Structure 1
Amino acid sequence: VGPRIRGFKVGVHASFADGLSIHDGAFERNYAQRLRSTPEAEDGADWLFPHDNDENQWLAQHGAAIYVEDSDGVDLARNRVRAGQNGILLDRVLRARVHDNDASFLSGWGLALWRTSESLITRNAFDFCVRGYSHGVYNRGQDSAGILMFEQCCRNVLAENSSTHGGDGFFGFGGKEALGEKAGPDGFDHRRKGCNDNLFVGNDFSYAAAHGLELTFSFGNTVRENRFVENAICGIWGGYSQEFHVAENEFARNGESGYGAERGGINVEHARRVRVEQNTFDGDACGVRLWWDADEGLAKLPWARANDVACAANQILRNVFTATPIGIQLQHCTGVLDLGNRFHDVPIERDAEDGLELETAPPPVAPTEIELLGARRPVGARAALAGREHIVMTEWGPYDWQAPLLQRVGERDGAHVWRFLGAAELRDVRASGPVALERAASGAPPVEILVRPSSERPGVLEYELVATSAAGETRARAILERLDWRVRNFAWTIDPRQDETGWRAQAADAPSRTLARLRLAYGMQGPAGLAPDRFGTLADARVELEPGDYELAITSDDGVRVRVDGAVVHEDWTWHAPKNAQAAFRVEKKRPVRLEVEHFELDGYAVLTVELRRK
Structure 2
Amino acid sequence: MSQELVTPTDGMVITQDTRFAPGVYPLPNGITIGADGVTVEGEGAMMVSGTRTGVGVTLDGRRDVTLRGLSISGYYNGVRADHCRNVTVEAVRVRETAEVDGITTFLYLWTPVEDAYGGAILFHDVQGGAVRGCDLQHQMNGIMLYDCGGLTVERNNASFNSGWGVYLSASSDNVIQDNQLDFCNRVFRRPDGTVRVEADSAGIVLVYSSSRNQFLRNSCLCGGDGIFVAGYDHKGHQGPCNDNLFEDNDCRLSPNNAIESTFSRGNIFRRNDCSRSNFGMWMGYSWDNVIEDNTIEFSRWAGIAIEHGFNFTIRNNRIRLNNEGIRLWTRGGGVLPYWPGHEVCYAFAIEDNLFESNRTAFHGYTGEEAEGVQCRDFTLRGNTIRDNRIGVRFAEVHGCAVEGNTFDANLDVAVLLEDDPGVTVGDNTYTANGEDVRRAARKHDFQKNL
Deviations 1:506-554 (A, max 9, x none): xxxxxxxxxxxxxxxxxxxxxxxxxxxxxxxxxxxxxxxxxxxxxxxxx
Deviations 1:57-78 (A, max 9, x none): 22xxx20100000111121100
Identity, in percent, stands at: 28
Give TM-score, length-normalised by structure 1.
Answer: 0.51
The question of whether the paired residues in 2 share the 8 Å contact of 1:139 and 1:210 is answered with no
Q: Which residue of structure 2 aligns with residue 95 of structure 1?
A: 150
Give TM-score, length-normalised by structure 2.
Answer: 0.69
Q: Which residue of structure 1 aligns with residue 256 of structure 2?
A: 210
Match of 1:118 among 173, 177, 180: 173
Residue 139 of structure 1 deviates from its aligned partner by 4.8
Residue 180 of structure 1 deviates from its aligned partner by 7.0
Question: Are residue 222 (structure 1) and residue 263 (structure 2) matched?
Answer: no
Question: Are residue 294 (structure 1) and residue 349 (structure 2) matched?
Answer: no
Question: Which stretches in structure 2 are left out of the alignment for 5+ residues?
Answer: 1-67, 367-374, 406-448
Structure 2 counterparts to residues 157-306 of structure 1, below 5 A? 157-176=214-233, 181-182=236-237, 194-231=240-277, 233-255=278-300, 263-295=301-333, 297-301=334-338, 304-305=339-340
The question of whether the paired residues in 2 share the 8 Å contact of 1:208 and 1:230 is answered with yes
Match of 1:357 among 398, 401, 415: 401
Q: Which residue of structure 2 aligns with residue 18 of structure 1?
A: 85
The question of whether the paired residues in 2 share the 8 Å contact of 1:155 and 1:197 is answered with yes
Match of 2:115 among 29, 52, 57: 57
Deviations 1:196-240 (A, max 9, x none): 000000000111121001110000000000101211x20101010
Question: Are residue 330 (structure 1) and residue 389 (structure 2) matched?
Answer: no
CA root-mean-square deviation: 2.0
Describe the SS at the equivalent of 2:136. strand
Deviations 1:539-591 (A, max 9, x none): xxxxxxxxxxxxxxxxxxxxxxxxxxxxxxxxxxxxxxxxxxxxxxxxxxxxx
Q: Which residue of structure 1 aligns with residue 95 of structure 2?
A: 28
Residue 32 of structure 1 deviates from its aligned partner by 2.2
Counterpart AA for 1:325 = R
The question of whether the paired residues in 2 share the 8 Å contact of 1:132 and 1:167 is answered with no
Counterpart AA for 2:221 = T
* Distance in 1 separating the partners of 2:152 and 2:229: 19
Deviations 1:354-392 (A, max 9, x none): 26314689xxxxxxxxxxxxxxxxxxxxxxxxxxxxxxx
* Distance in 1 separating the partners of 2:222 and 2:331: 31
Larger Rg: 1
Describe the SS at the equivalent of 1:346. coil
Describe the SS at the equivalent of 1:227. coil
The question of whether the paired residues in 1 share the 8 Å contact of 2:81 and 2:122 is answered with yes
Describe the SS at the equivalent of 1:96. strand
* Distance in 2 separating the partners of 1:139 and 1:33: 17
Residue 52 of structure 1 deviates from its aligned partner by 3.2
Describe the SS at the equivalent of 2:335. helix
Aligned pairs, how many? 325
The question of whether the paired residues in 1 share the 8 Å contact of 2:353 and 2:384 is answered with yes
User: Runs of 4+ in structure 1 displaced over 6 angstroms?
Assistant: none
Deviations 1:392-417 (A, max 9, x none): xxxxxxxxxxxxxxxxxxxxxxxxxx
Query: How has the CA–CA distance of structure 1 residues 180 and 133 changed in structure 2, closer, same or farther, with 3 Å as cutoff?
Result: closer
Counterpart AA for 1:338 = L
Q: Which residue of structure 2 aligns with residue 108 of structure 1?
A: 163
Counterpart AA for 2:281 = I
Structure 2 counterparts to residues 463-474 of structure 1, below 5 A? none
Describe the SS at the equivalent of 1:56. helix
* Distance in 1 separating the partners of 2:126 and 2:105: 31
Counterpart AA for 1:311 = C
Match of 1:69 among 124, 149, 166: 124
Counterpart AA for 1:227 = D
* Distance in 1 separating the partners of 2:201 and 2:265: 23
* Distance in 2 separating the partners of 1:229 and 1:334: 28
Question: Are residue 141 (structure 1) and residue 183 (structure 2) matched?
Answer: no
Q: Which residue of structure 2 aligns with residue 317 of structure 1?
A: 351
Residue 138 of structure 1 deviates from its aligned partner by 5.2
Q: Which residue of structure 1 aligns with residue 211 of structure 2?
A: 154
Match of 1:348 among 367, 383, 390: 390
The question of whether the paired residues in 2 share the 8 Å contact of 1:110 and 1:146 is answered with yes
Counterpart AA for 1:98 = V
Of Structure 1 and Structure 2, the greater helix share is in 1
Structure 2 counterparts to residues 447-458 of structure 1, below 5 A? none
Structure 2 counterparts to residues 387-398 of structure 1, below 5 A? none
Counterpart AA for 2:305 = N
